[in-house]
Amino acid sequence: MEMLFTPAFWSTLVAIIVIDLVLAGDNAIVIGMAARNLPAHQQRKAIIWGTVGAVVIRAAATMAVVWLLKIPGLLLVGGLMLVWIALKLLVQEEGHESVKAGSSLGSAIWTIVVADAVMGLDNVIAVAGAAHGSFLLVVLGLIISVPVMVWGSTLVLKVMDRFPAVMYIGSAVLAYTAGSMITSEPFVKGFFIEHPVLKWALIAGVIVGILLIGRVKNQAQKRVAEQS
C-alpha cells in the first residue's frame, strides 16, 4: 500500500488517464455507429454491455502485453509502435466506414466488442507501457476508461475539437511513454543508466520530433483542403 502514496504512482496514473482520454475518440465513434439503428431503449443497453465486453477483452489483452513486454526485445518494439501511435493520434484519418450498425441488441453488442478489440491495440500498448508492469495501475486505468467510453466520449470529442492543443498534450504523453519504454529495454537499459543525460535527450527528441512532424503534416493537410 505504500506505493499508493508515491509521486511516481500518481504521475503514472495521471499519464494513463490522459492516454485513456485522448484515445477514447475512436471508441465513441464505434459505439455510436454500432448502436445507431437500435430503438432508443436498447441503445443504452448496447452501449453499456458492449463496453463491458470490450473492457474485459482489453483487460486480458493489457495484462498479456504487460507480461510480454518483459521478454527481451519486445519493450523496444512496443516503444517504436507507440511512436507511430502517437504520430497517428495527431494526424487523424477517417476510417470507420466499415463499422456496421447492428440490427439487434446482440449484434450491436458484438460489433462494439469486436471493433474495439481490433481498434484498441493502441490503447493496450500505451497503457501497458505506461504502467511499467504494475497490474494495479492497469486495472485502475481500465476502471477509469469505462465511464470515459460510456459517458465521457462525446464530451472528450467536443473538447478535442474545440481545443486542438489537447491532442498535442496527449500525443506528448504517448511519446514520453514510448521513449521511456525504449530506454528501459534490457538490451540498452544499462547504457542509459550510465548515461542519464542521453536517456532524457532521446526521450525529449522523440517528443519534439513527433510533435513537429504531426504539426507539419496537419498544416500541409490544411493547405491542401483550403486549395481544393
CA distance 30 to 40: 17
Give me the sign of the Cα torsion angle 128, 71, 56, 113: positive
The residue ranges of every structural domain in the chain are: 7-227
Please give the C-alpha separations between residue 120 and each of 67, 89, 126, in angstroms, as whole numbers.
18, 13, 10
pLDDT of residue 62: 77
C-beta neighbour count of 68 within 10 angstroms: 13
Checking if the pLDDT of 121 tops 70, the result is no
pLDDT of residue 201: 96
Tens of pLDDT along 167-212?
A: 788 788 888 888 988 998 888 989 999 999 999 999 999 999 999 9
